[in-house]
Amino acid sequence: YEDVPSGEGFASGGFADMLEAGPVLAMLADRTAGDTAGGHSGLGESELIGVLCAWRRLASWAAAGQAAAIVALTQRRAVQAIERDNPHLREHIGDEIAAALTLSGRTAAGLHGDSLALARLPQVHASLSEGRIDWPKAGVFAAELSGLPDDAAAKIAPRCFRLRPA
């Protein structure tokens, strides 16, 4: 991809426009800005819109990765709490997230809860990771399906917005 001119492929239907979110898309999108913040002056209209959409897919991909890391941390602390007979390890995960990400306690608690809610909806998490939906849409799924048992929520989620089964 190093030989591809900056911005090429981001026009509607181009190869970069069709890429799922991930490191290759991140590298290509990053190259479009040039050497200055707010660059993109060499891009045509369609390419610029394509780059904008690529960054949105990448933001979704990053949010899915962050949510997965939060779930892994939660699971790890739960195991440690049992192994060490120390329930406080489980009780302060929100504080740990807040400190690590420099968030307020309230924001970290919300992020923690949303991440756990997504963990029970693998199709939604997969669509977020692919950049097919964004974090706010994932939050709507989590909130709207929160009152249902896990198996029912997991069956309903793919029917909404035509999510691909995980």
**Residue 83, pLDDT score:** 96
What pLDDT score was predicted for residue 164?
53
Q: What is the dihedral of CA 9, 135, 151, 83, to 10 degrees?
A: 110
Which amino acid is present at 61? W
- Distance, CA of 48 to CA of 95 (rounded, Å): 39
Buried b or exposed e, range 118-129, using 16+ CB within 10 angstroms: bbbbebbbbbbb
Give the model's pLDDT for residue 40: 81
Handedness of CA 152, 144, 129, 164 (dihedral sign): positive
pLDDT at 36: 58
Query: How many other CB atoms are there within 10 angstroms of residue 16's CB atom?
Result: 23
Tokens of 79: 């195991």
Q: What is the pLDDT of residue 38?
A: 61
CA atoms within 13 A on the CB side of 98: 12
Contact 8, 14 (CB under 8 A): yes
Q: What pLDDT sits at residue 3?
A: 54
Beta-carbon count within 10 A of 42 CB:
12
Please name the helix (run of DSSP H) or strand (run of DSSP E) that holds residue 92, with its range, or none. none
> Measuring CA to CA, which residue among 151, 143, 14, 137 is closest to residue 163?
137
Block means of pLDDT (10 residues each) for the chain, length 166 residues?
64 90 92 69 88 95 98 97 92 95 97 95 93 93 92 86 54
Q: What is residue 54's predicted lDDT score, i.e. its pLDDT?
A: 95
